[in-house]
Structure 1
Amino acid sequence: MIAALALLAAVHPALGTRDAACAPGETGPAFLVTVDGLKDRRGRLRLELYPANDADFLADDDWLVAAGKPFRRVDLPVPIAGPVTLCIRAPAPGRYAISLLHDRDANHRFSLWHDGVGFAGNPVIGWWKPHARDAAARVGDAPTRLSITLNYRHGLFSFAPIDR
């Protein structure tokens, strides 16, 4: 899990962003993701779209782009207040794996001790990455709503939503 999450916060934050941001009133294939369970309102949120297979899910973004595989990234500051919804465009209708990172110090790297992570389908997170099938969702010709709950380090050996 640790190596996979390190890839989630790759050093090329602009890679995959060109076609990722939704237009106002987006009508094509896209995911409208409601973010639940933010620990605080600092840092950045990074929403990423991957092919829905284990070989490509959380793979190196440089490799995915060079191989012509679907990869998109939306990277925005955490809003100061209010509900948080991010929108990411999909290349076409289909099934995609979706990840969300709360990069609390905005350094473009995953910190096991501080940052939060979540996936479509909200699978239980341990010290391993979830299977792509458990972190995937289907999108049609129009935007699809998802809700992702962020998980933060909980105790010594696991990740879990924060206690409220």
Structure 2
Amino acid sequence: MNRYLGAVLMLAGLVAGAAPAWAGGRAAIQEPMLGSDAQACERDEGPAIAATIVGLKDRKGNLKLELYPPDEADFLRGDRELIAAGKTFRRISVSAPATGPTALCIRVPHPGRYALLFTHDRDGRAKFSVWSDGAGFVKGDRLGRSRPKVDQAIIEVGPGLTHVTIRAQYLRGLGGFGPLDGK
């Protein structure tokens, strides 16, 4: 999937906004966490990323978070290649919840810098479609039609939970990808 996503992103580009904040303790979790790592976030067992996703187009398909090394050469590189090279790659995937807040949890190997990608696979095919799927990154820049740079996806993860809010973006005509609310 990552090879296809990288090619599509070269043509169309994607980005979503996030306001990173360090927060620890169970009181910081406002909504139920989704994903195979959910208990880690609910118990404040870090290092982990608690990502609140806003601006979903609908509640179809699957939502994914993918963790990459923080360098341009490895960003959006195929998962098999990264794993074979002994580099960081993690993925969590969940069905989009029918209602309510959307918060995903992903554990990281150790505190440090990573690149984080969110995708909304609306048709559930596990292959990114520029025409229907959405994506987001931790920076707030609107990307439009450009391939994202790793700097737009960089996140600093501390020893506990690192909280981010990612704004999903979808194809919006000739201007490329942007949030549905136009912000």
Short-chain TM bin: 0.7 to 0.9
In 2, Cα distance between equivalents of 1:103 and 1:158: 18
Q: Does 1:113 align with 2:128?
A: no
2:87 equivalent in structure 1: 69
Q: What is the aligned residue count? A: 151
**TM-score, length-scaled by structure 2:** 0.77
CA distance in 2, matches of 1:23, 1:134: 25
1:95 Cα offset (Å)? 0.7
2: distance between equivalents of 1:157 and 1:124? 10
Distance 1:5 1:88, change over 3 A: farther
Normalized against structure 1, the TM-score is what?
A: 0.85
Structure 2, unaligned stretches of length 5 or more? 10-34
Query: Are 2:5 and 2:76, in contact at CA under 8 Å, matched by a contact in 1?
Result: no
* Aligned-partner Cα distance in 1 for 2:46–2:105: 11
TM-fit CA distance, 1:115:
0.5
2:181 is equivalent to residue 163 of structure 1: yes
- 1:44 pairs with 2:44: no
Counterpart CA distance in 1 for 2:145 and 2:98 is 30
Higher helix share goes to which structure? 2
Q: Please report the RMSD computed on the Cα atoms of aligned residues, expressed in angstroms.
A: 1.9
Can you list the C-alpha shifts for 1:55-110, whole angstroms capped at 9, x where unaligned? 00100111000001000000100000000000001111001110000000111011
User: CA offset at residue 152 of structure 1?
Assistant: 0.3
1:147, 1:87 → 2: CA distance?
12
**Structure 1 unpaired stretches of 5+:** 8-19
1:4 equivalent to 2:19? Answer no
User: Which secondary structure does the structure 2 equivalent of 1:64 belong to?
Assistant: helix
- Using CA pairs under 8 Å that are at least 6 residues apart, name the structure with larger relative contact order, 1 or 2: 2
Tell me the equivalent position of 2:37.
22
Cα distance in 2, alignment partners of residues 140 and 21 from structure 1: 20
Q: 2:26 maps to which residue?
A: none
Q: Deviations over 1:1-32 (max 9, x none)?
A: x751659xxxxxxxxxxxx8325124121100
Normalized per residue, the structure richer in strand is 1
